[in-house]
Structure 1
Amino acid sequence: MEEIQIITPEELKKKLEEGEKLELVDVREDEEVAQGMIQGAKHIRMGEIPVNLDYFDKDKEYIFICRSSARSGNVCYYLQEQGYKVRNMVGGMLAWPGETE
């Protein structure tokens, strides 16, 4: 299986602070997201990714986020196999040093 590209929470925070436009997708459950999401992230639960494939554009790169980066990693493998550009935020929200909304 091909390696998944990753990004650290610190790298992501820096990019966002520099105003970089990134496609963030949070794949946690509703009750987890209610406790706070990274600003600008889109919420698509892991189980709903397959029915939401039309949301994703193969020309864009998406950064996937979950609580600890296990679920987002699974989503990354799944989408990468289908030709999408993906990156997994390692450590997940447990490691996120920035603010949430």
Structure 2
Amino acid sequence: DGSLPECWLLAEWPPGQAEPTDYWLSTLPADTPLRDLVRLAKIRWRIEHDYRELKDGLGLDHFEGRSYLGWHRHVTLTALAQAFCTQLRYDPKAPAPA
């Protein structure tokens, strides 16, 4: 019928700002708690942080080979290195960084 689905418009308007600073659209159900909507909207930061860590810190963009197999191995080892770093970061018994 050409109609669009209902969606949420979330706007972040920090105190002291003249206008909202960030906007998000969501098609989650109407009974989704506001806390969940905000958490899911803000999770993009985590994704961007992890991608930057993969690229800059762990060398995801350093591959210069020519084969799919070599690229696949490189990406797999980089992802494993990131999983290991994440596990260390969330380990409650790990010593605090100096």
Which structure carries more strand by proportion? 1
Q: Same fold (TM over 0.5)?
A: no
Q: What is the TM-score normalised by the length of structure 2?
A: 0.19
Larger Rg: 2
Q: What is the TM-score normalised by the length of structure 1?
A: 0.19
Which structure carries more helix by proportion? 2
Whose RCO is larger (CA < 8 A, sep 6+)?
1
